[in-house]
Each structure stands twice: as structure tokens, then as C-alpha cells.
Chain A
Amino acid sequence: MPPAMEPVPAKPLFYDLALNFVHFPALPEKTDEGSAGKHKGTGISG
């Protein structure tokens, strides 16, 4: 005889959000982007 059926609660929806934050590190000194504006903080009068 199979056991009697009984209701079980539905598993709530639960997202894996952490995967969205697995990303490359900032790659500053390896690319040329930073070099042109390197001293952008310096004023024209020095």
C-alpha cells in the first residue's frame, strides 16, 4: 500500500544574484585609457 498523499508547501522562488557580481577586475594600468588623462587633476596654472 502506498503511503497516504499529503500536501507539501511549494518551494519559494529564490534567485542566484551573486553570479551577476562575478566580473573581471578593473584593468587600469594594462590598457592605455588612463595614460592620457593621468594628470587631469592638475590645474592649468599648476
Chain B
Amino acid sequence: MDGDKADPKEKLLSNAFLDLQRLGQNGEYDRALKVTNRILQLSPQDENAFNCKIVCLIHLSKFNEVLQLMQRQAALSKDLHFEKAYCQYRLNQTEEALATVEQAEQSYRIKELKAQILYRLESFSECLSLYRDVIKNTHDDYSDERETNLTAVVTQLQHMNVKNDTV
């Protein structure tokens, strides 16, 4: 608790973060969650550990728990817009999810999530232009799936018989 104990605590923490990194890479989120809890017991305001805990809970489909935790820990959650919006999206709080992504910095993962939110809200025109932006500017392993989503958007637009000059 005092200065003399700082060193072993640091050592414990740095080992715990090494474990966390490995478990995250292997997708072992149930075990990683336990490590984040251990870190947060030692160091309750650790932003990295908190962020990792939120990620674990999402991969364990505990979306309600994430939102409750974010409410209790507002300061630690202030930059986790993407994670918050994703949980709202999965809980069908779709309008709230849209509001959350609009507060966030516009990274490509935020745009990807926003496109999915707009699809669910049936704002297909806006969704289409967002997908075009994301497809043009991302180079990852998901381009096939993204093209499939684009096709779904185009299909919905045609089906709705939307007059649409942007296509």
C-alpha cells in the first residue's frame, strides 16, 4: 500500500498485462476477463485493463453488463464509443447506437458499425454511401463480406423503389 510495496505490485501488473495480451491474441476471453478483474482489484482506475474487460464482456455476449459497467464507470468509459455503440446495436437500442457513433471520432471501424446501424434503421441511401467509403479505403480480410453487405443494401434500395439519384 505504501511506496515500498510499489515494486512487487508493478511486477504483478506487468505480468498480468503480458498474460492478457496472450489471451487476447488467442481469443480466450473468459480467462482474459479474470485477468482484467485481477488487475482492476490492484489498480481500479487502469484504463487499459478496463478497456480490455469491456472487450472480453462483448466477446462473451454480455452486452447489458457492459452498458451497466459503463454507467458506473463513466470516467473510464469516456473514449469507448465504439464498444458502447456496438452493445447498443446488439441490444436493438438502434437509435441510441446511432447517437453514440455520432459522438465518436470517425475511424473506419466506427464507419463500419454506423453502416450496420443505418441498415437496421433502413436508411439505405446513407448506408450505401458509407459502405462505398469503407470499401474504397479499407484493405483487410473482410472485403468479401463487406461486398455482400453492399449487395444487401442495393437490394433493399431497389426493393423499396427509392428514387435515388446517387446510384
* Chain A bound to chain B: yes
Binding site for B on A (CB under 8 A): 9, 12-25, 27, 30-32
For the complex, give the distance between the alpha carbons of A16 and B58 in Å: 13
Expressed in whole angstroms, the Cα–Cα distance for A15 and B48 within the complex equals: 29
- Asked if A22 contacts B17 (CB within 8 A), the reply is no
Interface residues of B (CB under 8 A from A): 13-14, 17-18, 20-21, 24, 48, 51-52, 55, 58-59, 82-83, 86, 89, 109, 112-113, 116, 119, 142, 145-146, 148-149, 151-152, 155-156, 159
Q: Nearest A residue to B46 by beta-carbon distance? A: A30
A interface, by DSSP: helix, strand, loop or mixed? loop
Specify the chain B residue showing the minimal Cβ separation from A9.
B159
Contacts of B14 in A (CB 8 A): 30-32
Chain B residues with Cβ below 8 Å from A24 are: 20-21, 24, 51-52, 55
Report A-chain residues with C-beta under 8 Å of the C-beta of B152. 12-14
Taking a contact as CB atoms closer than 8 A, the residue among B21, B116, B156 that contacts A27 in the complex is B21
Are A15 and B112 neighbours in the complex by a CB distance under 8 Å? no
In-complex Cβ contact of A23 among B48, B55, B116 (8 A)? B55
Inter-subunit contact A27/B86 (CB<8 Å):
no
Asked if residues A17 and B112 are in contact (CB atoms below 8 Å), the reply is yes
B127 CB to nearest chain A CB (Å): 10
A18 contacts across to B, CB distance below 8 A: 82, 86, 89, 109, 112-113, 116
A-B contact pairs, 10 of them (CB 8 A): A13-B152, A14-B149, A17-B142, A18-B82, A18-B86, A18-B116, A19-B58, A22-B86, A24-B52, A25-B48
Query: What's the minimum C-beta distance from A9 to chain B, rounded to whole angstroms?
Result: 6
Cβ–Cβ < 8 Å partners of B20 in chain A: 24, 27
CB distance from B100 to the nearest CB of A (A): 12
Name which residue of chain B comes closest to A23, CB basis. B55
Interchain residue pairs A-B with the least CB separation, the first 6: A12-B152, A30-B17, A21-B109, A18-B113, A24-B24, A15-B145
